[in-house]
Structure 1
Amino acid sequence: RPVIDLADCIPVDSYEIPERHRQRVQLRDHTCRFPGCTVSATRCDLDHSVEHARGGPTCPCNLVPLCRRHHRAKTFSLWRYVTIQPGHYLWLSPNGRHFLVTPKGPRVLDTPRPLDPDDY
């Protein structure tokens, strides 16, 4: 097998994702990038982070593995994410919670805490 450069980001002109791009994304992200999901990237859809119809390129830096359930949640509900850099994603839940998903795993960014009257 040839060596695969995970930093390679050469776009193609079509919406269809070439196998070489699919392999790079699967090797980079390993699992579905929804917070807490552990479905293998080899079993995931690849989502264009910036929609192809809106000018988003078909290249590894704009592709994110999402299992079918979470791909549908992103497409048909109010779950949203942005790619900070390839492999690092900021998710926004329908109720306004923020999650940072990195190679080290997901992290809640805005954990609510009870109000302490002594703080005021």
Structure 2
Amino acid sequence: MQTVESESSSLISQHPDYAAWVAGQRLYRRRMAAVLGGSYAVFLLSVVFLPCILLTPVSVSNPTPWLVPFAAFFILLQFLLTGIYVKHANTVGDEEHERMRSECLRLNNASKSAAVKS
């Protein structure tokens, strides 16, 4: 006998909107991975090809090089992008998945009760 969780998983995978939802989630993950990877590449290439600019002091009285705020910006950007990804996954993705799950369970329960009545 199947557990409720595995039964609900097999029902959801047959939902008409499921394939589109999975494709949308996959596309979103790929885009976020491209943005994150691109920002890492920009940072690394900047450090490799622009060291004379990044190692220049911010001002004459401040010996801190431009690399420090530049790196801080990229660290904050990574946190922001991760937060956006998690928020999207926990709101849009979960809400849509829960809607499909409840529809499938409702239809499954209705078909079981109809089978019992006949």
- TM-score for both structures, normalised by structure 2: 0.23
Greater Rg by CA: 2
Normalized per residue, the structure richer in strand is 1
Structure with bigger RCO (C-alpha 8 Å, 6+ apart): 2
